[in-house]
Amino acid sequence: MRQIQSFQALIKSSEDIMKTKKMFLQFWKSDNTKIAFIRDIIVALLAVLIVLLLLWTYTGQWFDAPMVAIESGSMEHPNSPFGRLGTIDAGDMVLVQKVYTVDDIVTHGGNLGGAQARGEGGWQTYGDYGDVLIYKPLGQEDTPQIIHRVMCWVDVTKEGDTTTYTIAEYGIFDEETLNIPELGLHDKKPKPTWTHSGFLTMGDNNNVIDQVSSICPQPLKLEWISGKARLEIPWLGTINLFFDDVLYGKNTVSNVHEDSLICLGILIAILISIPILLDIKDYFVEKKNQQL
């Protein structure tokens, strides 16, 4: 008796699968305008979900923004070619790959350590040595994030009223003053008031590190870092900047260079023309078939 019931349940399950398949095919192939509209929305949502899943998987930024739009020119390189590919410029977008430990980050460094010390074999991103980080200044959630290159790591040691610094990549060990001109550090300037160890960062288009300016006056802690920049997506971030300007009264689109705006316009024109050209092609094919 149980075997008969199991067999009947199996038959019913198979029939349900066939009915579901038939309904799906009817929905998928239907010429009804309303059904076609709903189908297009579902397909579009599925496509967005698939793209998000791929981005989240690659960046590790689950259910968080996997990319950021570049607002300023602090990472620009002089004499960039038309279109500014390969560097981070205002109007670009970059993926934000999550970092979990200090060892996940490669510093630019100096002649004694970091990527630069390895010469041509050293790790390079966006036209220079080392990783580019996206971080929250002083860990503040309500402050716009900064995207700058990580230059080196500093060890800060306090003994009583004395603070010493060690930056191994530049050959600095337990010094009370710092003289690294390429980072904007001079022994004639006031000493930094750093209270803890961490990363020092600087924009490729800047002359001093963030940690001796108002950008972020303390070395970066790991928990302040949202991730490291990966995969430049040129020009498209301008669209994001435009809506931010409209909604929040900013003026960031003015930072985008003219050649980047031209490239964005060409790209949008191409994307718009593709479905139009396909429709034209279908029209002539259908007209030709009718004549036959």
Q: What is the predicted pLDDT for the residue at 37?
A: 76
Going along 115-257, which residue ranges are E strands? 124-125, 128-129, 132-135, 146-159, 162-167, 172-175, 198-202, 225-233
More confident residue, 60 or 122: 122
Q: How far apart are CA 286 and CA 267, in angstroms?
A: 29
Strand bridging mode 146-159 / 198-202? antiparallel
Q: What is the predicted pLDDT for the residue at 34?
A: 76
Q: How far apart are CA 212 and CA 191, in angstroms?
A: 9
Q: What is the predicted pLDDT for the residue at 165?
A: 95
Task: For residue range 93-102, list pLDDT tens digits in order.
Answer: 999 999 999 9
Which residue ranges make up each domain of the chain?
A: 93-233
Q: How far apart are CA 242 and CA 254, in angstroms?
A: 10
Q: What is the predicted pLDDT for the residue at 50?
A: 86
More confident residue, 177 or 220: 220
More confident residue, 190 or 215: 215
Average of per-residue pLDDT across 171-189: 89
Q: Is the pLDDT of residue 2 over 60?
A: no
pLDDT band at 25 (very low <50, low <70, confident <90, very high): low
Whether 152 contacts 170, CB under 8 Å: yes
pLDDT band at 1 (very low <50, low <70, confident <90, very high): low
Whether 88 contacts 219, CB under 8 Å: no
Q: What is the predicted pLDDT for the residue at 24?
A: 64
DSSP state of 276: H
Mean of pLDDT over the chain:
88
Overall pTM > 0.85: no
Q: What is the predicted pLDDT for the residue at 38?
A: 80
Q: Is 50 left (phi over 0), alpha (psi -120 to 50) or beta?
A: alpha
pLDDT band at 54 (very low <50, low <70, confident <90, very high): confident
Q: Is the pLDDT of residue 74 over 90?
A: yes
Task: For residue range 218-263, list pLDDT tens digits in order.
Answer: 999 999 999 999 999 999 999 999 999 999 899 999 999 999 999 9
Residue 86, phi then psi, degrees to nearest 5: 95, -10
